[in-house]
């Protein structure tokens, strides 16, 4: 029972697991399974770049798949549950980032060729450098003749 | 069937007391509670805290009178944020240590933004097989 879609939520393994042990769970597990299966994102704008920070702890850099297509940046993770031993041993489950996809519309001012990303300490940091023309130009004083 | 428990900070029945959050009476102001997974198997309890972006040095784990508390210092993330969905400030989360966990043998490690705390069970609580004489 995979890839079921209910409204805006993509239902991943967190929900599969949920139904398996329905009676052992409490209501907060259901709420949190929805709430925490998509990673939160912080966005910054600097003079020469935009920066996206995606909080997705517990993954490996190789789990991420990133692509830019027609001005849209997509970050996708589809991690298989290898460790069957742990399944069903959860007493409480409030986060799980093993399966998600998040897309961003890139601003026109971003140079898609120069995008770089790094996964460090559970945060995926995506650097989106601005195009030269879009960078803040230094104030120029004009001489009056 | 499990008792439904969805009121944060509410005192819970004894059968679900292991790792239920301790009421946050003494919680420091301006802290948030990071999400947590708790696993229970024959050998140990495992707590996983999602603390992306925090350095090892910024995290402090304390055991006091049957309560395990995990605190994190403000990451001081400054910049021109145009959108902020996750917090970078100070956090705190407390847990009641169950009676069958050995609070003297607690171990912790941090990897990829997940803080894993291992609480081994006391020998008497582990399953054992009994030989028929």
Query: What is the per-residue pLDDT across A4-53, written as a single tens digit (0 to 9) for each?
Result: 333 333 333 344 444 444 444 445 445 544 545 789 999 999 989 999 99
**A59 located within any domain:** yes
**A143 located within any domain:** no
- Neighbouring C-beta atoms of residue B26, cutoff 10 Å: 10
B18 CB neighbours in chain A (<8 A) are 91
Q: Which domain holds residue A129?
A: 5-133
Give residue A89's pLDDT: 80
Assess B23–A contact: CB distance below 8 Å, yes or no. no
Q: Report d(CA B34, CA B113) in Å as an integer.
A: 11
Give residue B20's pLDDT: 59
Distance from CA of A144 to the nearest CA of B (A): 36
A to B CB pairs, distance under 8 Å: 114
Closest CA relative to residue A132, chosen from A104, A109, A115, A116: A109
pLDDT band at A80 (very low <50, low <70, confident <90, very high): confident
Q: Does domain B22-123 have CATH number 2.60.40.790?
A: yes
Give residue A79's pLDDT: 84
Assess A44–B contact: CB distance below 8 Å, yes or no. yes
Q: Is B129 exposed, middle or buried (0-12, 13-18, 19+ CB in 10 A)?
A: exposed
Q: How far is CA B102 from CA B22, B28, B41, B125, in A?
A: 19, 27, 14, 10
Overall number of domains in chain A: 1
* Interchain contact, B52 vs A51, CB within 8 Å: no
Contacts with A26 (C-beta within 8 Å, 6 or more apart), sequence order: B2, B3, B4, B5, B6
Give residue B31's pLDDT: 85
Q: Which residues of chain B have pLDDT under 50?
A: 1-16
* Domain CATH number, residue A48: 2.60.40.790
| DSSP, res B130 | -
Give residue A85's pLDDT: 59
* Interchain contact, B113 vs A91, CB within 8 Å: no
Is the pLDDT confidence value at A90 over 70? yes
* Interchain contact, B83 vs A27, CB within 8 Å: no
**A138 located within any domain:** no
**A122 located within any domain:** yes
**A142 located within any domain:** no
Assess B54–A contact: CB distance below 8 Å, yes or no. yes
A85: left (phi over 0), alpha (psi -120 to 50) or beta: alpha
CB-based contact B45:B19 (threshold 8 Å):
yes
Give residue B46's pLDDT: 92
Assess B14–A contact: CB distance below 8 Å, yes or no. no
* Interchain contact, A92 vs B5, CB within 8 Å: no
């Amino acid at each position: 029972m995979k890839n079921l879609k209910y409204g805006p939520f993509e239902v991943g393994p967190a929900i599969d697991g949920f139904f398996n042990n329905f009676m052992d769970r409490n209501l907060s597990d259901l709420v949190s399974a929805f709430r925490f299966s998509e990673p939160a994102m912080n966005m910054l704008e600097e003079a020469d770049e935009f920066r996206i920070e995606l909080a997705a702890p517990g993954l490996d850099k190789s789990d991420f798949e990133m692509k830019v297509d027609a001005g849209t940046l997509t970050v996708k993770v589809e991690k298989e549950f290898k460790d069957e031993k742990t399944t069903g041993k959860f007493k409480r489950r409030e986060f799980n980032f093993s399966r998600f996809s998040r897309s961003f519309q890139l601003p026109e001012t971003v140079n898609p060729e120069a995008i770089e990303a790094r996964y460090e300490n559970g945060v995926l940091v995506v650097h989106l450098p601005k195009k030269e023309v879009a960078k803040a130009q230094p104030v120029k004083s004009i001489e009056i003749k | 069937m499990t008792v439904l428990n969805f009121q944060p900070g509410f005192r819970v029945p004894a059968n679900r007391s292991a790792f239920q959050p301790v009421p946050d009476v003494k919680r420091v102001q301006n802290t948030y509670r990071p999400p947590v997974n708790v696993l229970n198997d024959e050998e140990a309890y495992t707590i996983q805290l999602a603390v992306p972006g925090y350095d090892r040095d910024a995290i402090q784990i304390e055991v006091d009178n049957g309560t395990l508390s995990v605190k994190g210092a403000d990451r001081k993330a400054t910049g021109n944020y145009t959108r902020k969905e996750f917090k970078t400030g100070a956090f705190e989360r407390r847990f009641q240590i169950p009676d069958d966990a050995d609070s003297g043998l607690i171990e912790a490690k941090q990897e990829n933004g997940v803080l894993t705390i291992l609480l081994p069970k006391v020998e008497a609580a582990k399953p054992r097989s009994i030989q028929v004489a």
